[in-house]
Amino acid sequence: MKQVLFNIQRVFRISEDEMKAIENVMQVTFLKKNNFFLKENEICKSIGFIEHGSMRLFYETPEKEVCNDFFFENSLVGSIASFITQTPSIVNIAPVENCELLLFEYADVMALIQKFPALKILANIILQEQLIRTEKREASLLKDSPEERFKHLLEEHPKIFKRIPLRYVAGYLGITPETLSRYRSKFLINASTSL
Amino acid sequence: MKQVLFNIQRVFRISEDEMKAIENVMQVTFLKKNNFFLKENEICKSIGFIEHGSMRLFYETPEKEVCNDFFFENSLVGSIASFITQTPSIVNIAPVENCELLLFEYADVMALIQKFPALKILANIILQEQLIRTEKREASLLKDSPEERFKHLLEEHPKIFKRIPLRYVAGYLGITPETLSRYRSKFLINASTSL
DNA sequence: TCCTTTTCTTGATTTAAATCAAGTGCTTCC
DNA sequence: GGAAGCACTTGATTTAAATCAAGAAAAGGA
């Protein structure tokens, strides 16, 4: 059984019927590094569930890329804004590691939500978490110093440092790779420690 | 006729019935400075439409307040995250100027959306704009320097500088009031110019 | 109205991060 | 296996913003 179904069942105790309905519409895909899951100006037609691998969400600017978010196995990937509204995305999403994905198309998701109240609740929870997460992130960017953001990230998501190239992490923190490198040595981060 | 109805009609050409339905559920309120529209940990039970006045959305931290957003007449005010999910808010919202508000309670909004497809579309557009706005804001905080953010704000929302105390604007930009003051003089902002 | 409080401005100094620059170590792919 | 390119580190310098501090202006209250 795919991870996504296992997780949904564990939390929501969904019925056989609901499981089948989900299984019927999901598409298993593999996405390699150097490809895109979603490009700016494209509509996010499918939301993905990552079985294995990782992705990053980023913005392109004339001078640089700004990495804004990371996605790992066992979580959803996509631009919620573009997916919900089916309008062009302002963000790019691409794999950092090779990914195994389960794709759910917009129309299928809407149909599932219509049909199964439990999945409607699930969708609402996902939306809620997304909204609250972005609220918190915005607050952190405003009230925490770069060094504090680094420390929080290290506490809360140490795996990011293990699996994501530093330049992306630096972009996520809003600092240069050099500064991130210095934080790492300052806080004794190296291969022999917990990382 | 209240501004909110005028605006909805102008854009959506809604019917008499729809207008009446909206009018029936809305509550006119006045909110003065030093009160709260929404406090942290409270559920955002009503969404407001500002007829006159302005508000700010902010976070409390042990050391300081971080102002995150502003709302002016002719726009909706509230924590979309808390309202949609009816869960406790992580933000505070309070008037900056005395406000005249039209309040719409959660259950009423849901009923209107159920009943009138045009209002369902309107609600989706509001959600979309909110999601995209926060995406853009997040990107701006990461990729633009404080000075660039100041210049963008000045171009796009000059009224903020006319009506909002600088310390709140400074918080919104992620800088100290002193630095904002210096930007203002640097860019020749004073009472005799367009401000 | 005047007095108090708050808000804003301006200057001097400090500080944190960016930038510039060089070098090291890893991949990867001919 | 060796060359080439990429990712990361480290150091020196510059730069932008914070902080500290004092004073001016504006707002609010008695």
pLDDT in the model for residue A188: 63
pLDDT in the model for residue A127: 83
Q: What is the DSSP letter of B94?
A: E
> In chain B, what residues touch A142 (CB-CB under 8 Å)?
59, 66, 68, 141, 171-172, 174
Q: At what angle do helices A117-143 and A106-115 cross, to 10 degrees?
A: 120
Residue B125 has pLDDT above 70, yes or no: yes
Contact partners, residue B156, CB within 8 Å, separation at least 6: none
pLDDT in the model for residue B192: 38
Region B98-125: what's the mean pLDDT? 91
Q: How many helices and strands in chain B, by DSSP H and E?
A: 9, 5
pLDDT in the model for residue B188: 62
Of B84, B125, B137, the CB nearest to A138: B137
Residue with tokens 């691998």: A53
Q: Look at A127-136, A158-167, B90-99, B170-179 and tell me which has the smallest mean pLDDT.
A: A127-136
Whether nucleic acid strand C comes within 7 Å of the CB of A179, the answer is yes
Residue B173 has pLDDT above 50, yes or no: yes
Residue B12, both tokens: 């959506």
Bases along strand C below 7 A from a protein CB? 7-12, 16-21
Three-state DSSP class for residue B184: helix
pLDDT in the model for residue B172: 92
Q: Could you tell me the distance in Å between the CA of residue B174 and the C1' of nucleotide C13?
A: 22
Q: Which residues of B131-148 are buried (b: 16+ CB within 10 A; e: fewer)?
A: bbebbebbbbbbbbebee
Contact partners, residue A118, CB within 8 Å, separation at least 6: A12, A14, A18
Contact predicate A98/A50, CB 8 Å: no
Nucleotide nearest to B33 (CA to C1'): D28
Residue B27 has pLDDT above 60, yes or no: yes
Q: What is the CA radius of gyration of chain A?
A: 18
Chain B within 8 Å of A98 (Cβ-Cβ)?
no
Between B24 and B121, the more confident residue is B24
Phi first, then psi: give them for residue B190, nearest 5 degrees. Answer: -155, 180
> pTM of the full predicted structure?
0.84
Which residues in window 63-122 of B are less than 7 A from strand C by Cβ? none
pLDDT bin (cut points 50, 70, 90) of residue B175 is very high
Query: Mean pLDDT for each consecutive 10-residue tract of chain A (195 residues)?
Result: 76 83 93 89 96 90 78 91 89 92 96 90 84 85 89 90 91 93 78 38
At B39-68, the pLDDT tens digits run 999 999 999 999 999 999 998 876 777 877
Question: Taking CB atoms and an 8 Å limit, are B142 and A174 in contact across chains?
Answer: yes
Whether nucleic acid strand C comes within 7 Å of the CB of B182, the answer is yes
Give all strands (DSSP E) within chain A, no chain letters. 27-31, 46-60, 65-72, 76-77, 92-105
Residue A124, both tokens: 């609402």
Contact partners, residue B183, CB within 8 Å, separation at least 6: B147, B150, B189
Q: What is the dihedral of CA A172, A7, B90, B26, to 10 degrees?
A: 120
Region B2-22: what's the mean pLDDT? 80
> What distance lies between CA B187 and its chain's CA centroid?
27
Region B133-146: what's the mean pLDDT? 86
